[in-house]
Structure formats: structure tokens, C-alpha cells
Amino acid sequence: MTTSTRAPLPTPEQDVQRDLVAPILDWYDEHARDLPWRRPEATPWSVLVSELMLQQTPVSRVLAVHEAWLQRWPTPAALAAEPSGEAVRAWGRLGYPRRALRLHAAAVAITTEHGGEVPADHAALLALPGVGEYTAAAVAAFAFGQRQVVLDTNVRRVLARTVTGTELPPRSLTRAERDLGAALLPADPPTAATWSVAVMELGALVCVAERPRCEQCPVRDACAWQLAGAPSYDGPPRRVQTYAGTDRQCRGRLLAVLRETEGSVDKARLDVVWDDDVQRERALASLLADGLAVLTDEGRYALP
């Protein structure tokens, strides 16, 4: 009985590795943006700051704030030494200012529990205040070169189109997406970390949500969505976020007054920035509840 020397047939995962991973890595080598948190000299603290700032906020708005933040607070200990209100003030108009409080709380935890150094361990990162599964994986991969499944909106969209043939991913992260992300990770940790940022970059620059630039895509010929004729999304309706006239806009107006004022302000200063009394009082109460504003003993309002 003879034994065959024929190589085993490639698995579907190996096919995807060959058709997607290598071309996207090559594309990234040529098209990666020069961002401060990606440079060789970037510290893990710079990476952590960038990841929290980039949540629901485009790179163009983050760059200047990230630079100013790192100049003022180059280490977690430097930020931890200041009141949390200074973090809110420096956050400026990035939006979702509770992220500033979370970053301050993380800096305090890093200083008191990790000797002032951002931990490399994924579980320790996940235990930091305000750090969820995505952020912990991203920092472990991008700051420490670890092999982690990093799934943000851009990555999920690229994988949905190229592998599963759907225009958009599910509204909530699924186990199937996690398994797919894990299957695509190169075995070598530094290469896996580069892959994670490369596919994210492809989603940010080419495989965008609306009007994707498919003619520029390095894996267009292997993309399941393109091969299926680019069918339109037919899942549950996507909620379109609005801003004008919302409580979120009102909160932003009130918070802007507090950020721009050293010390405290009286209620009259806040009342003039929004006409709807009921909505303004509701927004102000929510700022107090979230710890973004405090009521002083003199009945005035200030940053924490």
C-alpha cells in the first residue's frame, strides 16, 4: 500500500488567509497614514489615549487634542495628579465627554495599581476603568504587539463584505464575528498586530460605510460581497443619530460654559445658552449625575 505525497487541500480559513491577509498587509505597507500613536516612539499611554478619543470620533478631530493632551500629560501619573475636571476641560469638543472621566479614572488606576505604567496584560487592561473588550485588545495589539482579536466597526464591516458577502455587519458583535476574526489572525504576534491595524485602516479609507471605494481595494477580486453583485443591506433598519435639538446638544452647550470658565458659574450663565427650560434642567441634572459637573456649596456650577 502506497502513501500519497500530495499536500492536503487548503481549508476555507487558509484560502481566506491567502486571498485577504497578505494583500491587505501589502496594501497597508504602502497606504498607512502617519498617525502619532502608530509611530515607533509612541508610548502605550499615547495608544490608550488615542483609543478612547477615537471612539465615535474621526481621526481628523482627534489629532490636535491628542497632541495637546500628551504635551500636558505625557504619563498617566501626570493626569492622575490633576482634578478630573481638567480632563473634561481639555477634552474640548470631541463629544461624549464621559470618556474624559474614564480616561482620568484609568490614569489613577494605572498610577496606583501598576506603578504608572500602562499594563501589557490583556486582563489587567480590561480591568481598568472605562476600558472594554475592544480597547483592551487594541492596546495589547497596537502598544505591545500582541496577537489579539481587534474588532471595531471598520474591521467588522471589512470582514462582513469580504468574507460573508453582506454590505454591513450585524448591529451587535456576534460570536461568529469573533470566531472569524480569530481564524484570520496570523500566527506570528507582531504580524497579527499589524494585520489588526491594516484591516482597520482599509475600513477607514477604502471599505467605508457609504460609497465604498471598491476600485481601490486590494482584495476586490476575492471579496464575497463584490462577487455576489454588491447586494444592498437588507437587515434591521439602522438608527441614524441626530444631534441638533437633542439633550446631547444641550449638554454640550452647558458643558462649554463650564469648560471656558475658571472656577464656578451661577445658574443665570447656564440658563441663557438654551431656551427650552425643561430640556435644559434635564440636561443639567444629567451632567451632575454623570459627574461632569458639580454644584458647589454656594449654589454655583463647576467642573469636577
According to the model, what pLDDT value does residue 238 have? Answer: 65
| Confidence category of residue 9, pLDDT binned at 50, 70, 90 | very low
According to the model, what pLDDT value does residue 109 have? Answer: 98
Return d(Cα 22, Cα 122) in angstroms, integer: 26
The active-site residue, picked from 13, 30, 41, 51, is 51
According to the model, what pLDDT value does residue 14 have? Answer: 61
Max mean pLDDT range (104-118, 224-238, 287-301): 104-118
C-beta atoms surrounding 238 within 10 Å: 10
Q: What pTM did the predictor assign?
A: 0.87
Decide: helix, strand or coil at residue 67: helix
Helices then strands, each counted (H, E), the chain: 16, 2
Return d(Cα 165, Cα 152) in angstroms, integer: 18
Least confident of 21-25, 76-80, 232-236, 257-261: 232-236
Q: Is pLDDT of 39 > 60?
A: yes
Burial class (CB in 10 A: 0-12, 13-18, 19+), 22: middle
Return d(Cα 59, Cα 71) in angstroms, integer: 18
- Chain mean position to CA 128: 16
Return d(Cα 28, Cα 195) in angstroms, integer: 9
Between 260 and 233, residue with greater pLDDT:
260
According to the model, what pLDDT value does residue 263 have? Answer: 87
Q: Is pLDDT of 286 > 60?
A: yes
According to the model, what pLDDT value does residue 62 have? Answer: 96
Q: Is pLDDT of 26 > 70?
A: yes
C-beta atoms surrounding 197 within 10 Å: 18
Return d(Cα 99, Cα 45) in angstroms, integer: 15
pLDDT (tens digit per residue) in 63-97: 999 999 999 999 999 999 999 999 999 998 898 89
Of residues 180, 202, 182, the one with CA closest to residue 192: 182
- Decide if 177 is catalytic: no
